Amino acid sequence: MANFFRIVNAIVLWAIVLSFLPKLSFKKYLPVTLFCSGIFLIQSLLNLIFKWWDVKGGIKYRVFDDLAFIFGPFFTINLWVFHFTYGKFSLYALCNLIMDLLYAYPLNAFFQKIGHYKLKRMTSTALFIKTCSLAVLNYGFQRFIEKPSPSESSNHRSSD
């Protein structure tokens, strides 16, 4: 059952992104999505030491599971959220709050029940706090990379 969800997530979510997300949005929000995915990859590596969660089947399945989540639903949903909410922080925060609550509680329980993974040294509340914090960090990162450099600002003023 868990493998079914991994495959469906990868195929369906990427098909939707490639079919419907405007190319400009993809390019604009790709850096922040890669940044955040990198943080999740580091967390996955740290999980080998701290054992926050476990995946049945050993290291091979853990790596596959982590990569499938990070570059499947997490990556694609992050692109969509930024596409629809960026520039409206309250909407972005509300959207992330709702999705993080759904992920940390009912979806987390469901994924554990079907054997997708099992939390060990992390609680649902810690998962919720982690994802909310990451959402705020992501928004700040996107604002930072979009900030025009001083030379760009002066060029706009001189041409006006």
| Strand, coil or helix: 53 | strand
CA dist 122 and 118 (Å) reads 10
pLDDT in tens, 29-85: 999 999 999 999 999 999 999 999 999 888 888 888 888 889 998 999 999 999 999
Domain contains 128? yes
How many domains is the chain partitioned into structurally? 1
Domain contains 77? yes
| Strand, coil or helix: 54 | strand
pLDDT in tens, 11-33: 899 999 999 999 999 999 999 99
Report CA torsion sign: 100, 105, 109, 112: positive
CA dist 109 and 114 (Å) reads 9
Domain contains 157? no
Q: Whole-prediction pTM value? A: 0.86
DSSP-H helix ranges across 70-123: 75-85, 89-102, 108-113
Q: Which domain holds residue 12?
A: 2-145
Domain contains 159? no
